[in-house]
Amino acid sequence: MRAFAIFVGLIALGLAAIAFLGYPAWLLISPWLDNPKFHRISSRVGMALLAVAFIFVARHLKINDRQSMGFGLPWKKFTAEVGKSVFFGALLMMPAVLTMIGFDLLKPAAKPHSDWLHLVLGGILTGLTVSFIEETFLRGAMLTAIKRESGARAAIVLTALVYAATHFFGRYRIAAANVNAGTGIEMMTHTLALFGQPHRIIDTFLCLFAVGVLLGIVRVRTGNVAAPIGLHAGWVAVIYVVREMTDRRPDAPGAWMLGEVDGFIGWLLLAWTLVLGAALLWWYRPSAIARNGASGQLTPSPQSGDS
């Protein structure tokens, strides 16, 4: 569990930097900006420190090579697999979205987006950015480090737990005039506030955990992060588009099926994740991966045989 503790420590380090280095950074940087925002300055400080520490940790744990990080496939195969998986991920989301519409859980947004092409491209770009960062850190480096110490099952479960938990870091905004020496700690208190209200997040947490487990299994079976990045991006893109085009109906009889935190990820999506997860695992079954590898698609890595 040493590797798991190290990666959790990295996340804690980034949060601590926001809390304790955010204000000093604000004092240095804000005078040079026309419209300084404390949350942006402090968050960048936290991410920068996390990135630097991550480089040292990757070297220390000997996971700073392409194969360990999940990028061992040749570039053309990698990008092709990402593209295919984006489409597959978006397709897997459709039954859940149609169920939401069928149960009248969504209504047209007050100000719907008028440019569909721009909206879809924005969703895909957002999905790829988010998934690249999260999959590289979690299913790339972290999963490899834990897997070498504790095996694939522990690596899949532990990275899924971290994946789910990090989605509840709340957003907090404060006016420039109200920033003071304690603002960083105040921001961190609000950032972690949802963890003190488990009844509000349990459905979303379980759904994200299930998604994390599926992505972890795919990562282990394929030996790289191409498919997890694509699947993750496809799911994020669909959620992005649906959120832009619709609003949740809080008065609908089945409103409880949608998550309270974000109005989307909840019990209903968890149920579909479990159902469609079986199809996803069948698609990425070891025999199919090996067969596709022979035809120039994914090939499992030497370390991917635990699941």
How far apart are alpha carbons 211 and 108 in whole angstroms?
27
CA 287 vs. chain centroid, Å, equals: 28
pLDDT tens for each residue of 95-149:
999 999 999 999 888 776 677 888 999 999 999 999 999 999 999 999 999 999 9
Model confidence, pTM: 0.90
Integer Cα distance of 200 and 196 in angstroms? 9
Other CB atoms within a 10 A radius of the CB of residue 222 amount to 26
At 107 the three-state DSSP class reads strand
Among the ranges given (3-7, 46-50, 193-197, 302-306), the one the predictor scored with the smallest mean pLDDT: 302-306
CA distances, 112 to each of 92, 107, 208 (Å): 24, 10, 27
Report residue 303's pLDDT band, with 50, 70 and 90 as the boundaries: very low
Residue range 49-76: average pLDDT?
95
Which tens digits make up the pLDDT trace of 170-205? 888 889 999 999 999 999 999 999 999 999 999 999
